[in-house]
Chains A and B, each alone.
Chain A
């Protein structure tokens, strides 16, 4: 096997092997477990970085293995996949640190970390899949490997949440499967980027292609939490904080959003999607979800539930950007894949820190928390401002491109949706910021559960500070050649080769 193909396999194995080995370990072997985890995570970041640099220098990375005639297992690196793989691997490393700190002394850590690794294997698999079938395989593995994480606590609430989660995702998977099979029957094996195959079928199979698109879209929309298929997301926030963080930032929801981008950009292609008029319904659903999620978030007092509804809203930015044609909105969509991830993971880390250190789970308990946990809440504030779309934070960059893209496409209603969402985001995030920094703590002083030199356990504090800084840097240095924005712009420009 060539080195370049081997590298792609290694990227997957770097979390798969630790996952399997952890299963073979004893619950008490914490050191070995943590070592394996961190070793895998660091190796994965390094490998993805290596491939990324190589790809930018013109190397090609592909791996194809025939399972049956016409049915292939294919891995292929392209820019969008690598961006997603980089996001997954970096955030996995950070979340692993966090999870080690968070679960220390807890039960069932072996199970947790094993599936945690498998979960990331699936999400990098999704990122590097080269064709529809491989994508589907990893997409379903993701469902299975996250289930044990959602029910990790094992109480009734968690089991109930896990059940809802499975119903939604397996249902979505089934629908997606129908779509994939139908597409396979109609068009044969489709590798990502081969949009000409579908384009050549359009004139004779309009109805079939439209149906297949919506089948696949609704399958993907479950994980992307687009209304009315979002119901599982707020419920499954019962999972431990690191799981919620990873679930909401990269693993599950991003798989859906990324899948939608792949479907439109690399399977159907923009010209075909436009010709079949597939994008308008997507835009409408996404636009509605943005507002709906924000309105729901506004009424939550439970910190994590508020964040969950906020995710519902923010994810649809990606779908909305995909649904609006034009290089600017495509840039906005792709860059928001990354930006939403780093901002939202920061918020979940912060919520987890507050819950772990002071036992606060509700917004109304957060008075004066900023003075007790300045770094945690500082990072949270950055992320919250970013979500509102205030510069110079990552979320502003996404919103700027989506807004300009909407104007470019003449879809002025989308600008209104973005503005309304900003206003709503401000309405539910700023009260938290206000409580944290400008309110006196309640009369009854709550002592922190943690005592030590910092405001929280170091392993909980470092990740939140890191991702907070990422969120700031992604916006502040967006213009540089190595920012997520620069890569997103290259991806988007490649999608619209005819533009000057």
Chain B
């Protein structure tokens, strides 16, 4: 029952909070209730079930990485839901928001708990298309443009996903997702199938070069929706990859290197473009691309050299958990500076600072822990050129701090409210802060082997209070902070003047390159369209011949006569009648 309730409760919530005024008023608590089963399944292990009658035969069950992500997803939807209840209190389209919010929630939960390809695809699609309603919610020109880009990319993604699933399911001879990676490992076209999935799910993850919709769409949605888009739904793509990736079973050096290079390019490149933004949410969206790049790279490492998937995948999931909670905290945080006054403001800055540290991997945070966890795999792979990536990983700590400092810098420019009336949505924000990345260190999430691999005999305290660990975590942050202090004190107006009104590179960067190229070829494209149009409009030859025949005078004459006879329905009706009566008597 609990498995079905994970999906049904959010759908019910979507109905309740959109159709009924009392449901709309209590949307926050209703969404919290609706996500409880998901949180519960994330915490406790429950045996899976099979429902033959549902879609093409559904199986619900969880493995460790998906359980970790499910817990993250449950927490994020609960807190964002609670947040939305008060944040959108005066929004006229709040009912429509709730409808799509609940739908996307059901999809997001569903895709995590399903074990078979068809249901997984079903819930993935539900989430994707329901979030369209979240992106377009404000219905401004910018939101419409973002939503259009989102939709086009989402459909392209779906097409790649379904073709990957067709091929994978056929070569596995099974609908079970857990059968797909071994099948891909053995199939001769395994790399090709994985590549299709890499592209399809890469749209959701925001992988290079498919990411450009993300900095448009994530910020366009209302704050609580951005939080789940960037914190939870983006991880659905990662889960999709994990379902196909034969981690530890294959040596695919070129795919592996491709994922690693694209991943690190995203990690570092997105920071540069993100730094040039003026909207805090766009800045965060680029940070998400950057962080997902790291996860992409580490999944890529798993495609070479026999690293066991049972260790690597939970480690990536833990990293995702930390990123998800902290990112949602920051996204929800963008709504606070203009509303929060008084002493709450100190707490607010403290919370935002902690979240930034958690993403950058500061000492004592889940960020440090999970990044360290991933780093251990670098020494285990025999992939050539891996030392470079170890340096790049350290460099990414610097760049992330830089990007998120810029985020705090943008938020600082928001004027604080005159009266110190604190909105009630700061409470879910603190709830999320409490549930944050530190959970990644909790034994409820960690598989045994993984724990041992990092800590050895030492134990967690020894790991964290080790001066070497602390220093390794601290120096990139100190370095960045020092640089920032220098920049700010020496030339305090530098950053302010640099980019205040307009971002230096418009969000969605690459999209403009595509559009520019499209413009270059506009004439040719128009010609093609005109050709297709003419093809579509003109009667094709077979029809022409028929019409020539029909338009012939004599034919018309005969046909009109025949027609007028036929049109006298009595004739037809009576002949019918006679025929059937005759038939009836004959048959008797």
Contacts and interface: CB of A to CB of B under 8 A. Distances in A.
B136 A438 contact: yes
A391 B169 CA distance: 17
A385 B166 CA distance: 19
A311 B51 CA distance: 33
Contact of A16 (B536, B563, B580): B580
A299 B139 CA distance: 26
Contact of A430 (B151, B541, B576): B151
Interface stretch (A37-45, A85-93, A160-168): A160-168
B567 A477 contact: no
B125 interface: yes
B159 interface: yes
Contacts of A65: 586-587
Interface residues of A, number: 63
Given A299-B533, A392-B122, A147 B566 contact: yes
Contacts of A430: 151
B166 A404 contact: yes
B121 to A, nearest CB: 6
Interface in B523-561: 532-533, 535-537, 539-543, 546, 550, 559
A159 interface: yes
B583 interface: yes
Contacts of A475: 55
22 contacts: A115-B573, A145-B572, A151-B567, A159-B563, A163-B550, A163-B563, A166-B559, A167-B546, A228-B540, A228-B543, A231-B546, A295-B535, A391-B122, A397-B56, A403-B166, A407-B166, A475-B55, A477-B54, A477-B55, A478-B56, A479-B58, A481-B53
Nearest to B137: A438
A397 to B, nearest CB: 7
Given A148-B567, A479-B56, A295 B166 contact: no
Contact of A476 (B55, B532, B542): B55
Given A298-B536, A477-B54, A478-B56, 15 more contacts: A65-B586, A114-B569, A147-B572, A148-B569, A166-B563, A166-B566, A231-B546, A389-B162, A391-B121, A396-B122, A403-B166, A419-B159, A438-B133, A478-B55, A479-B57
A422 B121 CA distance: 15
B118 A400 contact: yes
Given A65-B587, A114-B573, A229-B542, A407 B170 contact: yes
Contacts of B569: 111, 114-115, 148
A148 B550 contact: no
Contacts of A399: 162
B532 A295 contact: yes
| 7 A-B pairs with the lowest CB-CB distances in the bound complex, closest first | A480-B53, A391-B122, A228-B542, A407-B170, A479-B57, A403-B166, A392-B122
A229 B540 CA distance: 10
A299 B537 contact: yes
A140 to B, nearest CB: 11
B15 to A, nearest CB: 12
B155 interface: yes
A167 B563 CA distance: 11
B356 to A, nearest CB: 35
Contact of B572 (A148, A390, A423, A478): A148
Interface in B165-218: 166-167, 169-170
Interface string A3-18: 0000001000000100
Nearest to A389: B162
Nearest to B51: A479
B54 A390 contact: no
Nearest to A482: B53
A231 B156 CA distance: 31
A423 B155 contact: yes
A9 B586 CA distance: 13
Nearest to A391: B122
B536 A299 contact: yes
Nearest to A371: B96
Interface string A290-307: 000001101100000000
Interface of A: 1, 9, 16, 19-20, 23, 65, 67, 73, 111, 114-115, 118, 141, 144-145, 147-148, 151, 159, 162-164, 166-168, 228-229, 231, 295-296, 298-299, 385, 389-392, 396-397, 399-400, 403-404, 406-408, 415, 419, 422-423, 426, 430, 438, 475-481, 483, 485
Nearest to B167: A407
Looking at chain B's contact residues, is the secondary structure mostly helix, strand, loop, or mixed? helix
A162 B550 CA distance: 13
A125 to B, nearest CB: 11
A164 B58 CA distance: 48
Contacts of A476: 54-55
Nearest to B572: A144
Given A397-B56, A423-B159, A480-B52, A167 B550 contact: yes
Contacts of B133: 438
Contacts of A485: 56
A166 B572 CA distance: 14
B424 interface: no
Nearest to A406: B166
A9 to B, nearest CB: 7
Nearest to B559: A163
B540 to A, nearest CB: 6
Interface string B81-125: 000000000000000000000000000000000000010011001
Contacts of B125: 390-391
Nearest to A110: B569
Contact of A404 (B129, B170, B539, B586): B170
Nearest to B159: A419
Residue of B158, B166, B537 with highest tally of chain A CB at under 10 A? B166
Nearest to A425: B155
Contacts of A483: 53
B163 interface: yes
A390 B159 CA distance: 10
B563 A391 contact: no
A477 B56 CA distance: 8
B573 A23 contact: yes
B532 to A, nearest CB: 6
Contacts of A111: 569
A167 B573 CA distance: 20
Contacts of B170: 404, 407-408
B224 to A, nearest CB: 20
Nearest to A439: B139
A391 B125 CA distance: 7
A408 B587 CA distance: 47
B577 interface: yes
Contacts of B577: 20, 23
Given A73-B583, A479-B51, A231 B543 contact: yes
A403 to B, nearest CB: 4
Contact of A390 (B55, B129, B139, B536): B129
A229 B537 CA distance: 16
Given A228-B540, A391-B121, A419-B159, A479 B166 contact: no
A400 B116 CA distance: 13
A481 B51 CA distance: 12
Contacts of A114: 569, 573
A58 B167 CA distance: 38
Contacts of B546: 167-168, 231
B536 A296 contact: yes
B99 to A, nearest CB: 10
A101 to B, nearest CB: 23
